Amino acid sequence: MKRLTLRAETGTPGLLFLTESIDAVAYNWEAVRILAFPSEPKQSEHLRGFLAKYVRSRLTSRRSSDIHRFVREFKSGNRRYTCRALSLCSEDGSSQADGTTTALLLERRPATAELLMKKATAEFRLTQRESQCVALLLQGMTTKEIAQVINLSPNTVKSFLRLIMAKMDVSTRSGVVGKILFADLH
């Protein structure tokens, strides 16, 4: 089977199409740049192996052995990226005939999000765990999702959120988000 390589401009999101066994079927060059940073690998037969190894070791969660779960965020160099996994199906709803089941979209986190978190952490004296909870809350995650990402129980995350709300003098999760956005404006 011939592999398709998509070319993209620097700064665009990285895109990988993976089989069930996490082998790259297609990718854009930006995905390779993101994953290989700081080096720039040459396009070769070894590239497919590199992508599979990187995805298995750094982008998959260790929580489930049956189903591949991908991390939501990862770091390459000093840059932070979000990783969104999208399941692919054919028109009849079954898996693709060539075994492609997942598309991974790799996007750089905006610098403003980083600045907002640093400012909120300092202004409200948040601990590292509280900052993690707030960062995931800003991404729109539920308590259960936050608990899965940072490997805590949902009740522990609820406790962290209550502490955060007390420090910010708000009574709701949306109040936390509003307080951070308002703090950035003034």
CATH number assigned to the domain covering 111-185: 1.10.10.10
Between 3.30.70, 3.40.50, 1.10.760, 3.30.450, what CATH number should domain 4-108 receive? 3.30.450
Chain segment 62-90, per-residue pLDDT in tens: 655 545 688 888 888 878 888 888 888 76
Q: Contact 142/133 with Cβ under 8 angstroms?
A: no
HSE-CB at 35 with a 13 A cutoff on CA atoms is 28
Average pLDDT value for the chain: 80
CB atoms within 10 A of CB 29: 18
Asked whether the whole model's pTM tops 0.85, one would answer: no
Residue 130 or 20, more confident: 130
- For the chain, the domains span 4-108, 111-185
Report pLDDT digits (tens) over 112-170. Answer: 777 788 888 888 999 999 998 998 888 888 999 899 888 899 999 999 999 999 999 99
